[in-house]
Structure 1
Amino acid sequence: MYLKDLQAIGRPATTQQSYGMHVLRWFRFLWAIDVPWEQVTRVEVRDFSRWIQITDKPGGRPVTAAPNPVTSKPGPGHKYAPRTRGHSETVLRSFYDFHRDTGSGPMVNPCPQVRQGARIHAHHSPMNLVGNECTELYRPRSVRQVPRSIPDEEFNEPFAQLGSHRDRALVAI
């Protein structure tokens, strides 16, 4: 029902697949600890958050840590990345919100929030910018990534092949 709802509200197939994989990972965890998804509490969500931090990704394809020679982007590691763990938290919150709203699941979302109902940054000066703070309790802190660059030689070749000044201006911007 949840994935059908995502399709009905116009989420792309890639989003549906991503959410489906996160929900499947969650269900596999619940099957391993023998807890029905309708009876999940904050304890199981906490344990899942701990498990996904320490577990290795499942096999199937080789995992390399060698960076991309052009962009210097690091290769995938053996553990789940903080972004993947954070996205999983978002998917679970959405999954349980959907089932709470439709009456087909628990009446309380087991994915806890920090200070539910409280105003985050309530005493914050409006003159200062506020960071994009997440409200999920078990969501990992996002790591600020260093911008990657492409060497000039790798950029010049496709740039020279562009057919018009307009296209070159768009790419340059």
Structure 2
Amino acid sequence: MTGNVGRVLKANTGLPYRLIFPEAEHVVVSSFLRDLAASDCSPATLRSYAYDMLRWFRFLHGRFVPWERAERLDVRALVEHMRASPTANTLRKGSDQVTAVNTVTRKRGLGTTFSANSINHQLTVLSSFYDFALEMNLGPLVNPVPRQRGVGTRAYAHHNPMEQFRPPRRGTYRQRVPKPAWRGIPDSAMAAIFNGLTNHRDRALLSFWLSSGARAEELLGLRHGDYDFGEHTLVVTSKGTRNRDLVPASPDAFVWLALYMREGQPASPGDRVWWTLHQKNRRPLGYPAARQMFARAQKELGSNWTLHDLRHTAAERMIADPAFTLVDVQTVLRHVNVTTTTIYTQPRMEDVLQKVLEHYARPPREAPGIEPEYDDAALRELLGLGE
């Protein structure tokens, strides 16, 4: 696979991302991305699709196969390549550091190869791209990505209502995705991380993430005018729907925000709220910088929690409060279905282990006996216990 051919170019006007391959803009991919943009896909989706197409074209370039002549065997070879090849993160950090299980969080690293979700996403992008190219008559004769087995134009189109629904079989080359185990951060660890913060900006950020349950990028996109000190609410742009939703937060978070704003940050209406701390080279705080900030805060503790784990922690805390109903938590987290919120009802393994240890440490209950003031023989005869 040729890793230095082509690139994804970010544009300030028009289509936000374009694929350059090998040295010029790929017209068919640009048309495909423009079709996605017209379907109201977010710029993040276009970026993800562009990089998946770049990976595919580089792979075919190394096999000397034109993209219009790609076959099913080429797709199979790509899946085998992604299952075996190290990711860029592995090459940068080393395989030992990536795959090691953290002793504090018991979380494994990202892995040395592409995840099952990444491979499945790659197949989805390729299938959509070739469907588009076939429909527009742009070159290919077939879609090299196999269709899902046993599924026609619509799932369960001819289902017998007297029978139970069976989950559809995984499509060819589709990977089995393990069920995620969401883990919140224990209160003791969260207190240690918070005490290690050195500035009001970071304290305000963590307080908002923990109390509002907002996603990392939703909070980082906050602008002046999107918060209400009196009502203790934020207005964030929700992921996916891109709706402007009202989110409650704790009074402590707004206290830290006020202290941060007193340090002289830009506060004009519409300006970003969160900025880097460098006075000479101040710029809006992005997700990579916030992720590094949270990693530095955990360095002394030795943990590897992520910013998204703060959202899980907020959800678990609300679920544990009897004043909250499941629908209340769903509303705060802005889940479309309440079934998504139920993943936070699972108990922490640490709490379960503690209860099990307490169960075995509890002394056995003694069998009830006969009080000494009663005549033992008479009582046994009365109760019919015999000799």
Letter in 2 for 1:75: G
> Which residue number in structure 1 is paired with residue 178 of structure 2?
143
Q: Which has the higher strand share?
A: 2
Mark the CA change 1:87 to 1:102 in structure 2 (over 3 Å): closer, same or farther: same
State the match for 1:83 in structure 2.
117
| Residue among 61, 84, 92 paired with 1:61 | 92
Q: Which runs of 5+ in 2 are unaligned?
A: 1-30, 195-206, 212-248, 253-313, 319-328, 330-387
Q: 1:37-56 counterparts in 2 under 5 A?
A: 37-56=67-86
Residues of 2 paired with 1:155 and 1:124: CA distance? 51
CA distance in 2, matches of 1:134, 1:15: 26
Q: Which amino acid aligns with 1:106?
A: P
Which range is displaced more, 88-97 or 62-71? 62-71
Structure 1, unmatched stretches of 5+, are none
Taking the aligned partners of 1:147 and 1:9, their CA distance within structure 2 comes to 32
Give every structure 1 segment of 4 or more consecutive aligned residues whose post-TM-superposition deviation is greater than 4 Å: 66-73, 118-127, 154-157
Amino acid at match of 1:162: S
Distance 1:126 1:150 in 2: 45
Residues 150, 169 of structure 2: 8 Å contact kept? no
2:250 match: 162
Q: Larger Rg: 1 or 2?
A: 2
Q: Distance in 2 between matches of 1:129 and 1:116?
A: 14
Question: Does the CA contact (< 8 Å) of 2:134 and 2:140 recur in 1?
Answer: yes
Greater relative contact order (Cα 8 A, min sep 6): structure 1 or 2? 1
**How has the CA–CA distance of structure 1 residues 155 and 58 changed in structure 2, closer, same or farther, with 3 Å as cutoff?**
closer
Alignment partner, residue 100 of structure 1 = 134
CA shift for structure 1 position 37: 0.4
Tell me, what secondary structure is at the counterpart of 1:110? Answer: coil
Which residue identity does 1:105 align to in structure 2?
Answer: G
The 8 Å contact of residues 89 and 136 in structure 1, kept in 2 or not, is answered as no
CA RMSD of aligned residues (A): 3.3
Per the alignment, in what secondary structure is the counterpart of residue 149 of structure 1? coil
Look up the SS of the partner of 1:30 in the other structure. Answer: helix
Q: What's the CA shift string for 1:121-165, capped at 9, x where partnerless?
A: 66676664543x46531110111122222212356773578129x
In structure 2, distance between residues paired with 1:11 and 1:96: 18
The TM-score with structure 2 as length reference comes to 0.38
- Percent identity, aligned pairs only, is 33
